Amino acid sequence: MKKTLYVLIAVLLMASLFAGCGKPAASKPGQPETNAPESVDTAVLPESPAVGSGNAAESYSAYLEAKNAVFTKLTDGISNNPDTALAALSFLGIAAVDLATLPVSFFGLGQEAVNAGLSFVGATGVKYTENGNSYTVSYSDDENNAYVFSGTYDPAADALTCTATKNGKESIFMEYRKTAFGYAGQYYMLNDDGTADVYMVAADGENGTIGIASSSEKPAALTGSVSADFPKACDQWYSIQGATITGKTSDGKEISFEYTPSGSESN
């Protein structure tokens, strides 16, 4: 029953992201669409598991819930502030990472769950293997590109790392881990033109920080002692603490304003 629940969660995640992407081609890893950012509806996600629960899928969904709570609040505030509305375009890439890393949602759930979930993005030749807390998902898309996602979950640290390849070349590296303040996560997304984008996330409830950068090198591995401000090492970052949003835009401009939720009478 629990396995069925997590398949449903992954499918709902996929449906939410496709609603913003507009076409199935967005499912190719490392190929974010350029539509407006769409947040994942986290209402259906389960409560965060205790550290050491040993369930990779449950841990990952709890991390996504934390990450997307910060993402949703930041994009809402930034896009609804006249002085920062254009900065919301910077979130297009990170809006697509959950879909680009979709196979991670099925780690620990078995072959049937992977088949069911990836069938929605037209994947063929789907294969799933697991060895202890290490998992591999491979498949091909409708253009015969071959993808392999290989990851390892550490239940003691509540941490997961994953590397994805496209046609034998690394295309994605992602990791997250539980920390004293909440969750830390980062993504290294390689593009077909040889460039790479880095996204860093620190989440503590609805407070947190998202960093965005271009880099030719994979970021250093996360540790359990990572600071909640680590995304501020990026050239561009945005932070929400209570009702205050601060940040540095892509052109180096520092911002600071009070968050007004969309649809409020004062907005």
pLDDT (tens, 9 = 90+) of the chain, 267 residues, equals 444 434 444 444 444 433 333 333 334 444 433 343 444 333 333 333 344 445 899 999 999 999 999 999 999 999 999 999 999 999 999 999 999 999 999 999 999 999 999 998 999 999 999 999 999 999 999 999 999 999 999 999 999 999 999 999 999 999 999 999 999 999 999 998 889 999 999 999 889 999 999 988 899 999 989 999 999 999 999 999 999 999 999 999 999 999 988 876 544
pLDDT at 52: 41
| Both tokens assigned to 37 | 């950012």
The bridge status of strand 134-140 relative to strand 169-178 is unpaired
Q: CB within 8 A of 37, min separation 6: which ones? A: 20, 71, 75, 88, 91, 92, 94, 95
pLDDT at 193: 87
Q: CB within 8 A of 43, min separation 6: which ones? A: none
Read off the amino acid at residue 10. Answer: A
Read off the amino acid at residue 125. Answer: G
pLDDT at 89: 93
pLDDT at 9: 41
pLDDT at 264: 64
pLDDT at 27: 40
Cα separations in angstroms, 125 against 144, 149, 151: 10, 14, 19
CB atoms under 10 Å from CB of 115, counted, come to: 16
Cα separations in angstroms, 91 against 112, 119, 120, 231, 232: 33, 27, 25, 14, 15
pLDDT at 194: 86
CB atoms under 10 Å from CB of 92, counted, come to: 16
Contact 48, 66 (CB under 8 A): yes
Could you identify the residue written with the tokens 């004062």?
Answer: 266
